[in-house]
Amino acid sequence: MAPQDGRAMLETMIQSSTVDLFHAVGIAVGPIAASKVDNGAVESRALMAMISFGGPGARGTLGLLVPTGVFEMVRQDPARPFTGMAWVQDSVNQLLGRLKARLLQFQMPLQMGLPLSMDEKALRSLLSQGILAAYRFRTLRGEISVTLSGKIDYARLNYASQMTYASEGDIVLF
């Protein structure tokens, strides 16, 4: 695949993965803008987490930045509340999981790191390394941002439709 096509494909994957992720918890999000390689487009948020990934042709970090108001829309069992920081870490983990599943169809297997919470200092450090793209999404309670940093060889993306993989929500009993 030509690098520019691969980049556009990855952008679509990240946008659709993010929309699906929040839809699954009952939060409507809409992509605002195409990717911008501009650190200034990334605003700090109250809840931030990141997760590293690596594999043939790809190595980097995915970041998820969410305002508190969005977390307040997440349905919770009052008897078993979880913190916003735990939720955003789980969310960035699931976001990378969705992206990884999509990339497998393009023969780019990724290994996932463990999700980490991110404070202002960690965000600045991530941005100082340079980002490949920042994706912004509108919600009823403010904007979400997803950042992608690292190196990706877009030319390695090669669709293989004959491969079948499990999908989000699947339960396979052996």
Residues 99-128 that bind another protein (CB under 8 A): 100-101, 104, 109, 112, 114-115
Cβ nearer to another protein, comparing 8 with 101: 101
- The helix-helix angle for 3-23 and 84-104 (nearest 10°) equals 140
Binding span for another protein by CB under 8 A among 33-41, 42-50, 85-93, 145-153: 85-93
Q: Work out which of 17, 18, 61, 89 binds another protein, going by CB under 8 A.
A: 89
Instruction: State the DSSP string of 53-118.
Output: EEETTEEEEEEEEE-HHHHTTS---TTS---HHHHHHHHHHHHHHHHHHHHHTTT---EE---EE-
Residue 103, token pair as written in the block: 């990339």
Instruction: State the DSSP string of 151-165.
Output: EE-GGG----TT---
Q: Does position 160 bind another protein by CB under 8 A?
A: no
Q: Does position 26 bind another protein by CB under 8 A?
A: no
- Beta strands 58-66 and 30-31 are unpaired
Q: Does position 159 bind another protein by CB under 8 A?
A: no
Distance CA(51)–CA(169), nearest Å, equals: 21
Q: Work out which of 97, 107, 127, 141 binds another protein, going by CB under 8 A.
A: 97
Residue 58, token pair as written in the block: 């790809």
Q: Does position 165 bind another protein by CB under 8 A?
A: yes
Residue 43, token pair as written in the block: 């605003």
Binding span for another protein by CB under 8 A among 6-14, 30-38, 120-128, 162-170: 162-170
Q: Can you give the binding site for another protein, defined by CB under 8 A?
A: 24-25, 77, 79-83, 86-87, 89-90, 93-94, 96-98, 100-101, 104, 109, 112, 114-115, 165-174
